[in-house]
Amino acid sequence: MIKITIQTGGLIVLLWVLVGHFVLGWFNNNINSKTPQSQRSGSAAAADSEDQSCFCHLTGVLDDCFCDIESIDVFNNFKIYPSIQKLLERDYFRYYRVNLKRPCPFWPDDGHCAIKDCQVEPCPESKIPVGIKAGNYNKYSQAANSVSEIEECEQVHELGAINNTLSNQSKQAFADWARHDDAQDHFCELDDETSPDFEYVDLLLNPERYTGYKGPSAWRVWNSIYEENCFKPRSVYRPLNPLAPSRGDDDGEGFYNWLEGLCLEKRVFYRLISGLHSSINIHLCAAYLLDEGWGRAVWGPNVREFRTRFDPAETKGEGTRRLKNLYFLYLIELRALSKVAPYFERTIVNLYTGRAQEDAATKELLLRIFNAAKAFPMHFDEKSMFAGQKIEAKTLKEEFRLHFKNISRIMDCVGCSKCRLWGKLQTQGLGTALKILFSEKEIKNLPENSPSKGFQLTRQEIVALLNAFGRLSTSIKEVHNFRTLLNDVR
C-alpha cells in the first residue's frame, strides 16, 4: 500500500513539473514574440561577444607544450586547489622569514608607499612555533636540528683554530668561495639570514591583494624586468609598454615575430615572467578594495579591472596571451612538484614545527598533493631545454639562471611593502621550481636517512615553493570565477 502511494505521488509530481515547464515555455514564447527576432538575436550576440571576449580564445593546446587549458582547469579547480589551500593554512607554511628593508640595488629608492594597505605587519617571534625559529633557517626536521647543531659546534671549533693562522684577506676569500659554492644552484638572490632586518611574516594575516600601489614606480620595476632581463634587444618594442616611445597602432606583431625566433629556453623565460605578472594582476583584481565605508574595508572581485587588464578588446589582443602564459607557468611549477616528491617522501623530512601530530598531518597532506601532481598526464617536458651541445647548453643555462637571479634582486626595488613581500616570495618560489627541474640526477641519488650534499632545500625555499604554487592555483581558480561573473552580468 505504501509503495503504491509513493509511486502515485511521484507520478503526480512529475506531471506537475512537465505541465509547469510547458506553461512557462508558452508564456516566454508569447512574450518574446512581441520582440523582433533580429533585435533579440543581435542583442544576445552582442552580450555574448562583450562578456566572453576575455575567454573566447582561452582554449585548446598551449604553445611549447602538449597540454590543453581545459584539462588544467578541471585538474586544478577540483583536485589541487582545495588541498593546497588547506596546506598553506598550516603553521609550517604560513610563516615566511624575509628582509623587506633591503635597498634597491639598481636605482635610488623612490621611498616606500604610504598607503596603509601597503604596510606589512611582522609577526612577533613569541608567536612563531618553536620548531620553526629554533636552530638554523634550513633545518626542517628534528633529527636535522640535533645532528647539525653538533656538527656546527665542531666546525666552529675547527675553524677557530685555523682562522688564527689566516690573514683577513684569506678569511674573506674562504668566505667568498663558500658563498659561491652555495649559490651555484640558486636562481634567486637570497636574503642575508644574519641581518637584523630579517623578520617573520604571517602570510595569512598579510594577504596579497590590491593596495593602490601603481604609476611610474611600479611600471619601472616591471619595465626593468622585461626590457633588461628577458633577453630582449632595445630595438624590439614590447606591446603596451607605458614607458616606451609611442608606436602608434603597433599591435605587437613585431615583438611576437621576434619572440618566436628565439630558442626554446629564452622563449620559456619570457613566458614565465609574463605568467607571473599575469598571476599577480589576477590576485589584485580578485581581491580589490570595493568599499571603505563605515570603517570596514570590503574586498572582492572587480570585473571592470579584470577586463582592463585581460580583455583583448582593451589590450589589443594581449589579454589572451597573458592568461595563456599564466597556464604555462602553472605547468612549470606543477612539474617541479612532481619531480621533487622523492625528496619529501624520505622519513628524514618531517616539516618540523615542534608539534609532532600537526607535523605528521602536514606532511601527509603535502604528499597527497605531490601524488596528485605526479598523476597529471600532460606535464611539461623540461628535458627539451638545454639539450644542445654540452658547452653551449651549460652556457645558456648559466645565462638563464643569472637573468632570473637579477629579477629576484629587482624585487627589492618595489616600493609597496606588501607587494614586495609577495613579489619576493613568488619569485623565490619560481626560482626554487627551476632549481628542482634542473637537479634531476641529484634528486634521484638522495640518501634515505641523511641530508644530501648534492641537493638540499632550505625551509625558506620549501615555504616559497608551495606558497608560490598556491598563488598560481588561486589564479586559475579566479579565472574560472571571473568567467562565471561575466556570465552573470550577461
CA distance 126 to 411: 28
| Band (230; pLDDT cuts 50, 70, 90) | very high
Q: Which residues pair with 201 in a beta bridge?
A: 96, 122
> Which is nearest to 208 in space by CA: 422, 420, 416?
422
Contacts of 286 (CB under 8 A, 6+ apart): 209, 300, 301, 306, 474, 478, 481, 482
pLDDT score at 109: 74
pLDDT score at 356: 92
User: Is 222 a known ligand-binding residue?
Assistant: yes
pLDDT averaged over every residue in the chain = 80
| Residue 473 · residue 84 · CB < 8 Å | yes
pLDDT score at 54: 67
Active site residue 123: no
pLDDT score at 334: 96
CA distance 206 to 122: 9
User: Is 26 a known ligand-binding residue?
Assistant: no
Number of C-beta neighbours around residue 332 at 10 A = 22
Residue 323: which region, alpha, beta or left (left: phi > 0; alpha: psi -120 to 50)?
A: alpha
- By percentage, how much of the chain surpasses pLDDT 90? 50
Most confident residue range from 49-53, 178-182, 388-392: 388-392
User: Is 307 a known ligand-binding residue?
Assistant: no
Comparing 17 with 419, the larger pLDDT belongs to 419
Lowest model confidence (mean pLDDT) among 133-137, 199-203, 448-452: 133-137
Give the mean pLDDT of 328-338. Answer: 96
Lowest model confidence (mean pLDDT) among 126-140, 152-166, 222-236, 370-384: 152-166
> Which is nearest to 204 in space by CA: 358, 90, 354, 365?
90
Comparing 459 with 31, the larger pLDDT belongs to 459
> Which is nearest to 94 in space by CA: 209, 192, 210, 206?
206
The string of pLDDT tens digits covering residues 256-292 is: 999 999 999 999 999 999 999 999 999 999 999 988 8
Give the mean pLDDT of 68-97. Answer: 96
CA distance 441 to 462: 19
CA distance 22 to 34: 19
Active site residue 113: no
| 35 has a pLDDT exceeding 70 | no
| Band (189; pLDDT cuts 50, 70, 90) | confident
User: Is 211 a known ligand-binding residue?
Assistant: yes
| 29 has a pLDDT exceeding 60 | no
Is the whole model's pTM more than 0.85, yes or no? no
pLDDT score at 359: 95
Number of C-beta neighbours around residue 472 at 10 A = 28
Number of C-beta neighbours around residue 64 at 10 A = 15
